[in-house]
């Protein structure tokens, strides 16, 4: 398999990306964007409001920051009454369940769920009994997806459309095979053990796990069954505050890279907007720079070895989800 060269990466970073979410594709629809009080999520939500979505849920942990984001969106778009701020704390399984219950009961439809919220930490800490990065980036990310899938399938049938479940991942995951190999056997236990947790690489490892689990979940949930397109989007290196919680020297490296080749958050948000309107051919696939880029996925991820690994990883995640919310998987699988 052809690995992405440095020049290919840089040239892709500098590429001017198209805006593919338009009034024609988004008007009148309902979208949920997690982590949308800042960065890529904020810009994606802003654009969805601009192209006349009927409702855009700003799903955030900090309600005050969410309200500030809503005010910025309304000022920028001159379109009020569309954005709503809802509480969602991915470090709390109960918060995820409450958010999903509210969405199922209060929303008429869900046309797109952009799972943008993630965290990058370099210190080991627990949330819900699991290492915090794993809880937020993996367990709660897939818990919310599973809980909202029935509503999205209902939307697909009622309106004869294809809603989108989009998970924001990262190409950085493909560069940490060695770190992943050290934890892949008995994954959740090893991620949860400070002795086997290299927190310097924990964020990209969780992004790789999203790839494995998301690709396998897509095989279990074909569009022909659910009506929902599930894809995995790489926003690229963007000028966000994602690295704010990591140590000084790592953060310095990231800041320098962002200064040299980082996309603006608005440009990076276009990748999310593409994924949430992309065609059925993107189902179960890696999308980057507003295109399906399966050729950039390593063979050890997308080949037979990767498919077996994805099944094992999903099995571990599924066992946790079933413990957190018994019966949730039987409603969609």
Torsion sign over Cα 101, 106, 110, 116: negative
Report residue 157 as tokens: 């049938």
User: Rounded distance, CA 175 to CA 224, Å?
Assistant: 33
Strands 83-87 and 55-60: parallel
Active site residue 31: no
Could you say which of 29, 151, 184, 207 is catalytic? 207
Longest pairwise C-alpha distance within the chain: 52
Query: Would you say 127 and 135 are in contact if contact means Cβ atoms under 8 Å apart?
Result: yes
Residue 207 catalytic?
Answer: yes
Query: In the annotation, is 36 catalytic?
Result: no
Instruction: Give the integer Cα–Cα distance in Å for 36 and 199.
Output: 25
- The catalytic residue among 31, 130, 203, 286 is 203
Catalytic residue among 170, 243, 269, 282: 170
Torsion of CA 67, 69, 74, 75, to 10 degrees: 110
- DSSP three-state, residue 115: strand
3-state SS class at 55: strand
Catalytic residues: 170, 203, 207
């Amino acid at each position: 398999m052809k690995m992405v060269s440095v020049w290919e990466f840089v040239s892709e970073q500098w590429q001017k990306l198209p805006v593919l979410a338009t009034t024609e594709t988004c008007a009148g629809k309902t979208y949920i964007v997690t982590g949308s009080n800042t960065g890529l999520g904020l810009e994606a939500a802003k654009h969805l409001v601009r192209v006349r979505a009927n409702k855009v849920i700003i799903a955030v942990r900090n309600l005050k920051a969410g309200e500030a984001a809503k005010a910025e969106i309304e000022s920028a778009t001159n379109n009020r009454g569309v954005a709503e701020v809802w509480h969602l704390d991915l470090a709390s399984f109960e918060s995820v369940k409450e958010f999903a219950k509210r969405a199922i009961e209060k929303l008429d439809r869900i046309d797109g769920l952009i799972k943008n919220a993630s965290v990058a930490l370099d210190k080991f800490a627990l949330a819900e009994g699991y290492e915090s990065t794993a809880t937020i980036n993996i367990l709660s990310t897939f818990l919310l997806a599973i809980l909202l899938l029935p509503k999205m399938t209902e939307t697909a049938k009622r309106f004869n459309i294809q809603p989108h479940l989009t998970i924001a991942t990262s190409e950085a995951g493909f560069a940490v095979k060695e770190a992943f190999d050290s934890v892949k056997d008995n994954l959740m236990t090893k991620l949860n053990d400070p002795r086997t947790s290299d927190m310097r690489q924990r964020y990209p490892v969780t992004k790789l796990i999203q790839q494995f689990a998301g690709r396998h979940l897509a095989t279990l949930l074909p569009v022909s069954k659910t009506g929902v397109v599930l894809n995995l989007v790489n926003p690229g290196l963007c000028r966000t505050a994602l690295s704010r919680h990591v140590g000084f020297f790592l953060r310095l490296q990231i800041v320098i890279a962002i200064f040299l080749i980082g996309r603006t958050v608005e440009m990076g948000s276009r990748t999310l907007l593409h994924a949430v309107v992309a065609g059925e051919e993107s189902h179960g696939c890696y999308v980057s720079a507003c295109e399906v880029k399966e050729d950039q996925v390593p063979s050890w991820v997308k080949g037979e070895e990767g498919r077996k690994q994805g099944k094992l990883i999903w099995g571990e995640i599924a066992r946790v989800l079933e413990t957190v919310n018994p019966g949730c998987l039987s409603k969609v699988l």
